[in-house]
Amino acid sequence: MSVDQEALVSTEGAGLYQSVGAGHHTCWYPVGLSSDLAAGQVRGIDLCDGRIVLFRGEDGVARAMLPYCAHMGADLSVGDVVGNDIRCAFHHWQYGGDGRCTKIATGDRIPGAAVVRTLPIEEHDGLLWVWWGDTPAYEVPSFSSFEGEWAVRTFEVPLTAAVHVEPWVFAANVMDFQHLKSLHNVDVGNPDVEWNDWGAAMKWSFSRPEVGEINWDIELFGTNSVRSVQPQADGTIIGHIATTVPMGEQGTKVFVVVVTNDLANAETILEHQAQMHTNIANEDMDVLSTIRVGKANFTSSDKKLVQYMRYQRDYPKATMDELERGATPVAMRT
């Protein structure tokens, strides 16, 4: 890179390294473990710049919608589940999985506008995923389509500090090769990156003391999730998903899925992988819990990072108000 080109990268940093501003990126966000939402249970959670309610019907299907009853705005998370509907505690209005009111306790005619906005929700590998937006633009990062029998461990990473940075800041680490080498002692060189509208792919080779030599096929999904696949010499595979979600005052949470089809050694492999990913996440905590996003001077070593910054700057986003104004409920994906 010439001096002039390097100067361009440096000065461009001030415009790229910015908060998303109003709203959040339209991504699949992990909103909790599947095991934390039992049949008949209701949970209200803060998500992005708003709040949603999750519930699981008697049929075992998880559903997600905005939390306020169309009658008088009561929070549905303090209600209960009736069959496969959620029932408001205030006046016992019920809503089906498509967000439409199905019953009013008084027997009154149901108003046509008695609709609560729903959000697409899917379950994979022990995680509940909610799409922040209308129609999902890409598939949930998962191992569900992988053939054969797999051992899976899914968990929320116990972070050593509260973190309030936006999820894209976490995901930037996979393109920040200086950071990987300096803080994590992971030297992946300068791999080629293949970009698409909703993510990127590349290959890493490095080592970590917990697991030794690693060769990863890395994929970025949206601006908050990374999936790796690590083929082994014996033909088995180890994989992981690291994903983040902004949860209001609780800050940004990190969830990890680790998998292997080496069933004979699964427990040891999953334990080592879980420990490695927990360690990597917490190695960042002192930095990410104190970082100021807004000013940057990028250099020639930051070329791939600058590409990522442009990608996240132009990535679609939505606010809770925009979702709430949507006139048509989003159909559940099956």
Pair 264, 291 in one domain: yes
Residue 183 lies in a domain: yes
pLDDT at 5: 41
Look up the domain containing 279 and give its range: 151-313
Residue 25 lies in a domain: no
In DSSP terms, 44 is beta-bridged to: 53
Helix, strand, coil percent values for the chain (each to nearest 5): 25, 35, 40
**Tokens standing for 123?**
């379950």
Pair 158, 305 in one domain: yes
What's the CATH code of the domain at 76? Answer: 2.102.10.10
Pair 157, 114 in one domain: no
Below-50 pLDDT ranges, the chain: 1-11, 13-14, 327-334
Residue 138 lies in a domain: no
Task: Give pairs for 203-210: CB < 8 Å, separation 24+.
Answer: 204/228, 206/180, 208/276, 210/272, 210/275, 210/276, 210/279
Which of 260, 49, 252 is closest to 156 using CA atoms?
A: 252
Cβ–Cβ under 8 Å, residues 153 and 60 = no
What's the CATH code of the domain at 307? Answer: 3.90.380.10
Pair 209, 274 in one domain: yes
Pair 200, 159 in one domain: yes
Cβ–Cβ under 8 Å, residues 63 and 56 = yes
Pair 170, 94 in one domain: no
Q: What is the 8-class DSSP label of residue 186?
A: -
Cβ–Cβ under 8 Å, residues 324 and 27 = no
| CA–CA dist 279, 274 (Å, integer) | 9
| CA–CA dist 82, 98 (Å, integer) | 15
pLDDT at 10: 45
Which of 51, 49, 52 is closest to 19 using CA atoms?
A: 49
Which of 157, 128, 153 is closest to 239 using CA atoms?
A: 153
Three-class HEC string of 255-299:
EEEEEECCHHHHHHHHHHHHHHHHHHHHHCHHHHCCCCCCCCCCC
Pair 212, 291 in one domain: yes
In DSSP terms, 227 is beta-bridged to: 219, 241
Complete edge-to-edge strand list for the sheet that includes strand 85-87: 80-82, 85-87, 93-95, 101-104
| CA–CA dist 280, 285 (Å, integer) | 9
| CA–CA dist 84, 40 (Å, integer) | 8
Domains of the chain: total: 2
pLDDT at 293: 85
Pair 167, 231 in one domain: yes
Backbone angles phi, psi at 110, to 5 degrees: -80, 120
pLDDT at 224: 98
Pair 286, 205 in one domain: yes
pLDDT at 15: 67
Residue that has been written with the tokens 């209701």 in this structure = 42
Pair 224, 307 in one domain: yes
Pair 124, 273 in one domain: no
Residue 91 lies in a domain: yes
